[in-house]
Amino acid sequence: MSHDPNCIFCKIIAGQIPAKKVYEDEHILGFHDIHPWAPVHILLIPKLHIASMVELQPEHAELMGRMAVLAPRLMKELGVSNGFRTVINTGADGGQEVYHLHMHVMGGPRPWAKG
């Protein structure tokens, strides 16, 4: 699998940096965001280093599908029952801060909603 030795998410995958894991298989790692925007805020990342969605190729379709199917299962397991939000920031203008593809999955009261 591709790996970037300078990538913080690759270091988490390698066990060099601790994370509060919620899921792991041979392709995907899920863990709690260290700066949550919602009561439940996890990140799903591929173990394969893909910098952003711009780099996705047809061979990544199954991986992205696995992440999309996994999100609702994990939200249910984490007690989220009234919906959730998924976000994939892509590139500088898209708000991407860590250049390893990742899906934010956020549930609970919506801090992004205008009140």
Catalytic residues: 102
CA distances to 21, 73, 82, 92 from 66, rounded to whole Å, are 17, 11, 22, 26
C-beta of residue 42 within 8 angstroms of C-beta of residue 78: yes
Strands 40-46 and 28-32: antiparallel
